[in-house]
Structure 1
Amino acid sequence: MYYNHFYYNNPYIHEDYLYSTERQFGQSTGQQAGPPTAPPPAFVPQQQVEAYAVDPGGIARCLFRYTYVWLRGFEQFWFYPTFVGRNSVSGYRWTGHRWVYYGIDLRQIQSFTCV
């Protein structure tokens, strides 16, 4: 049986959303599982239209890319996602000086954009 569905064909998300990027992206693919080696861009992108809910498939397009995140409650920051789960995304958050590992419940995200 062949499935032509985003979650079956996306290399970052398994149907149960439980693949770890550390296991999935090893040395063979050259994909970086740790934090970026450089700071994020020096600009703040324009906020996109606010979403009612963030879909795991939507934010999966931003895996291993600089992503600007606006949380509900007005907090905003640069983020480098490395894992997307059913209800959360994790990766590295820029503190202004360095990258620190960070996880976000998808319900907290108001909007995001990746560059």
Structure 2
Amino acid sequence: MSFRPPPGQPPGAQQVPEPLTPPPAFIPPQPAPFRGDPRAIERCLFRFTYVWLVNGEQFWFFPVFIGTRSVAGFRWTGRSWRQTGFDLRLIFAFTCF
């Protein structure tokens, strides 16, 4: 997936749509473990997504790109959004709003 640069920005530059607001102020209930197509998270592109990783980490995430084996976007630190990415195989469960 690629993004078009805004007017006045040089060709080839990418505009990554960072969320403008914090995520919801709650932690959703964890759904059943994620099994099946790792690209199922595509339905969560550009949506607030709560992610549980296989290592026990959990956090709000705002995905903006999904590759064949990885996902990239913004992770909520509790105060701000930070760009991040990780392997799709690390996802244990997720839910998006």
Task: Report the TM-score, using the length of structure 2 for normalisation.
Answer: 0.83
User: Corresponding residue for 2:32?
Assistant: 49
User: Corresponding residue for 1:71?
Assistant: 53
Aligned letter for 1:89?
Answer: V
Gap regions ≥5 residues in structure 1? 1-18
1:97 equivalent to 2:79? Answer: yes
**What does the per-residue CA deviation read over 1:14-54, in whole Å, with 9 as the maximum and x for residues that have no partner?**
xxxxx23x24xx66xxxx83211110000001111002355
More strand by share: 2
> Quick one: distance in 2 between partners of 1:105 and 1:53?
15
Correspondence list, 1:20-31, <5 A: 20=2, 22-23=3-4
Gap regions ≥5 residues in structure 2? 7-14
1:114 equivalent to 2:96? Answer: yes
Instruction: State the secondary structure of the residue aligned to 2:44.
Output: coil
Q: Quick one: percent identity of the two aligned structures?
A: 52
Query: How large is the RMSD of aligned CA atoms in angstroms?
Result: 1.7
Task: Report the TM-score, using the length of structure 1 for normalisation.
Answer: 0.71
Q: Which runs of 4+ in 1 moved over 6 A?
A: none
> Would the aligned equivalents of 1:53 and 1:107 in 2 still touch at CA under 8 Å?
no
User: Corresponding residue for 2:22?
Assistant: 39
The size of the alignment, in residue pairs, is 89
